[in-house]
Amino acid sequence: MQAWGIGIIGAGGIAGAHASAWLAHSEDCRLIAFADRDTRRAQERAEQFGADYWYDDPLALIERDDINVVSICTPPFNHAELATAALEAGKNVLVEKPMCCSLEEADKMIAAAQKAERLIGVVFQWRFTVEFLRMRALIEEGKLGRLLLVQAISNWWRTLDYYKVWWRGTWEKECGGSVMNHAIHHLDLLVSLVGDVERVCAEMGIYCHPIETEDAASALLRFRNRAIGVLVSSTAVHMEEHRLCLHGELGSVTMPWRLVCADARYQSELEEWLAKIPRPELGGHMAVVSDFLRALKKGEKPSCDGLEGRRSIELAVAIYKSAITGESVTLPISPYDPFYRKEALMNYARG
């Protein structure tokens, strides 16, 4: 069996989760190198996780013949550039969320993967929770009836120090605030469970942090399947709360887990049915890496490939466009729309 050679670009916080997950799959892969523009970080991570090489130049890592998979753990602004360089060099790419900063970048990444005939996967680890798998099964089998109402709450607390890191809180480098970098998990759940959004009407503001990007936002959503919903998103809420509620004609289901049906007998039937769905063996980044290796070995798609990762970017961009223009936004966002490109958000930052 082939042992996949792994390189990790970006040796900061989340790189540790990637390294641990790759190492936990040592029957399939070998962790070879780290690259970080801060060489000291790359070296520390290499020593911590037993990789033999470290670089300050990500291209030096990408050029290695013994590396066939690159994990991208840098800030959002260079995901597209690094992923495209790796794909063009014939590597498979697992990129952290958010996939990139704009639809233009997402389309370039997808095109590069197609041209190189390599895989691109986007890290959305909440897709591997038992709640997600149960919700997906309920929806796929029509067990909730028609979906009518959806609520997503993505409230986080982030300190002033959190935003002192050079790339955070900027339109240029973080490419957004609470919506793009935190609620993006909920946006991914919404599009993957409920489906594509047709119209968005949003508001946002900066309330508690000295940053350029929003630390609170709210949005009204209308889905193509006619369900309607709300999203609230913040990094300034003292009482952290992460919740997704799907309300269907036949019952309501929430994450954290709760299932309620007005018809008690139907609820018991559903509970029995759900109990047969196998619980995931792995969670978090372990599950994402395991899924990516499955896709590599079988020549299949990972759970969240480039096209899937693009969907939450489009929703985030639509939320920003609506909040900036003060108008409701109809999706899809076309390549002729200024908001297809990152510059529209950067221009907003410049006033």
Ligand X SMILES: NC(=O)c1ccc[n+]([C@@H]2O[C@H](COP(=O)([O-])OP(=O)(O)OC[C@H]3O[C@@H](n4cnc5c(N)ncnc54)[C@H](O)[C@@H]3O)[C@@H](O)[C@H]2O)c1
Q: Which residues bind ligand X (CB under 6 A)?
A: 9-14, 35-38, 41, 58, 73-76, 78, 96-97, 123, 125, 165, 181
In the complex, the smallest distance separating the C-beta of residue 305 from ligand X, rounded to whole angstroms, is: 16
| Closest CB to ligand X among residues 288, 293 | 288
| Closest CB to ligand X among residues 76, 169 | 76
In the complex, the smallest distance separating the C-beta of residue 55 from ligand X, rounded to whole angstroms, is: 8
| Closest CB to ligand X among residues 100, 200 | 100
In the complex, the smallest distance separating the C-beta of residue 231 from ligand X, rounded to whole angstroms, is: 18
| Closest CB to ligand X among residues 147, 179 | 179
In the complex, the smallest distance separating the C-beta of residue 182 from ligand X, rounded to whole angstroms, is: 9
Nearest residue to ligand X on Cβ basis: 12
Instruction: Give dist(CA 179, CA 217) in Å, integer.
Output: 7
Q: Which DSSP category does 305 fall into?
A: B
Output the DSSP codes for 112-126. Answer: HHHHHT--EEE--GG
Q: Where are the alpha helices (DSSP H) in the chain?
A: 15-23, 39-49, 58-62, 79-88, 103-116, 130-140, 184-193, 264-275, 284-298, 306-325, 343-350
Please give, one letter per residue, the 3-state secondary structure of 146-177. CEEEEEEEEEEECCCHHHHCCCCCCCCCCCCC
In the complex, the smallest distance separating the C-beta of residue 132 from ligand X, rounded to whole angstroms, is: 14
| Closest CB to ligand X among residues 17, 221 | 17
In the complex, the smallest distance separating the C-beta of residue 76 from ligand X, rounded to whole angstroms, is: 5
Hey, what are 119's tokens? Answer: 């895989």
Instruction: Give dist(CA 201, CA 237) in Å, integer.
Output: 22
| Closest CB to ligand X among residues 261, 308 | 308
Q: Is 330 left (phi over 0), alpha (psi -120 to 50) or beta?
A: beta
